[in-house]
């Protein structure tokens, strides 16, 4: 008879890596195979320290800007996308580059370009300073796009030609928050052009819906993800909004504050789109050392999305 307290772990499915993250990591791995180390990567390939450190150990060198990349070596652009000035600078230096931008982010870029070609001013719903937002705004000339971060922004933004307007969104936002901002924009600017298909990606959508399901049963939720991961932070917010107020973001098992789980008998676990499954397994193992654990998985949907590699790496 175990003297450990019982703990039921409720796993959200889908969780963890999405197709865009899988593709980005595979691009770095295959580039190392093809070219040998070092391969340079501009910015973190995805927002996860464990992933970045593993790739660094394999020979990837992560840099903040292109000018830190020496001549004659390949460079990879991160999954979040880059301003057009970055590949242009690489071409000027005759650097071979591989673009690991998630295809769903690229879709937002192309949508913004189409709206711009139609003469529309574009509102981008997103978070200032996030690499994806920097990359999206950098697809067009300065002044072509205005950032909307909050409902207040949506309510107060003044537009010179309100009848000549479109919006796009960052792919990793809160579905509920974004819906409210879109509602405000459509009320204020009835003729605003909308994306053909929602910009918030399938993985963000699925992970938020799945965490809502486990929030109904869990007394606390651990979200595996990095502090700078937009989609992971949104999962914490969604869980709290669904009533599971003891929801926290942790990078790894060693970061868990076990005092926060005192008295908890139902613990939800999910992971952001750039957090590998090995970190979820690590947390479950840490729980087993302290509790008598049983595991239940709640599945919203099974994902089977895949994206092609860049032609330089296609085998």
- What is the strand order of the sheet 247-250 is part of? 247-250, 220-224, 266-271, 5-13, 291-299
Indicate if 132 belongs to the active site: yes
The percentage of residues in the chain with a pLDDT greater than 90, rounded to a whole number, is: 97
Q: Which DSSP state fits 313?
A: T
Residue 290, pLDDT > 70, answer yes
CB atoms within 10 A of CB 88: 9
247 falls in which pLDDT band (50, 70, 90)? very high
Task: From the candidates 132, 149, 152, 251, give the one annotated as an active-site residue.
Answer: 132
Contact 185, 193 (CB under 8 A): no
User: Phi and psi at residue 136, in whole multiples of 5°?
Assistant: -65, -45
Q: Which two tokens stand for residue 14?
A: 């889908």
Q: Which DSSP state fits 129?
A: T
pLDDT digits 0-9 by tens, 295-315: 999 999 999 999 999 999 986
CB atoms within 10 A of CB 54: 16
CA 91, 311, 63 angle in degrees (round to 5)? 50
pLDDT digits 0-9 by tens, 91-116: 999 999 999 999 999 999 999 999 99
Q: Which two tokens stand for residue 8?
A: 């039921």
Residue 1, pLDDT > 60, answer no
Element (H, E) at 263: none
pTM above 0.85, yes or no: yes
pLDDT digits 0-9 by tens, 149-201: 999 999 999 999 999 999 999 999 999 999 999 999 999 999 999 998 889 99
Residue with tokens 């479109």: 166
What the chain holds in terms of domains, given with CATH numbers, is: 5-17+202-299 (3.40.1010.20), 19-99 (3.40.50.11270), 106-188 (3.40.1010.20)
């Amino acid at each position: 008879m175990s003297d450990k307290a019982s703990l039921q772990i409720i796993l959200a499915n889908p969780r963890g890596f999405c197709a865009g993250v899988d593709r980005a990591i595979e691009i770095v791995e295959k580039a190392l195979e093809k070219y040998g180390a070092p391969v340079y990567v501009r910015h973190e390939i995805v927002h996860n320290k464990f992933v970045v450190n593993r790739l660094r150990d394999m020979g990837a060198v992560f840099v903040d800007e292109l000018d830190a990349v020496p001549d004659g070596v390949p460079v990879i652009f991160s999954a979040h996308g880059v301003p057009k000035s970055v590949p242009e600078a690489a071409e000027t230096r005759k650097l071979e580059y591989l673009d690991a931008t998630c295809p769903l982010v690229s879709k937002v870029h192309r949508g913004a370009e189409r709206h711009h070609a139609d003469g529309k001013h574009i509102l981008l719903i997103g978070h200032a300073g996030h690499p994806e937002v920097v990359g999206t705004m950098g697809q067009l000339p300065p002044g072509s796009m205005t950032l909307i971060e909050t409902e207040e922004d949506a309510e107060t933004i003044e537009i010179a030609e309100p009848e000549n307007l479109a919006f796009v969104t960052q792919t990793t936002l809160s579905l509920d928050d974004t819906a409210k901002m879109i509602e405000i924009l459509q009320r204020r600017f009835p003729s605003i052009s909308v994306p053909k298909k929602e910009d918030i990606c399938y993985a963000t959508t699925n992970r938020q819906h799945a965490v809502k399901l486990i929030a109904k049963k869990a007394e606390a939720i651990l979200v595996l993800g990095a502090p700078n991961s937009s989609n992971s932070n949104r999962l914490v917010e969604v869980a709290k909004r669904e009533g599971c107020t003891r929801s926290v973001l942790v990078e790894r098992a060693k970061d868990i504050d076990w005092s926060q789980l005192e008295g908890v008998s139902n613990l939800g676990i999910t992971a952001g789109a750039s957090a590998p499954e090995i970190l979820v397994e690590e947390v479950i193992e840490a729980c087993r050392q302290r509790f008598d654990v049983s595991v239940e998985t709640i599945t919203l949907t099974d994902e089977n999305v895949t994206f092609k590699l860049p032609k330089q790496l296609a085998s």
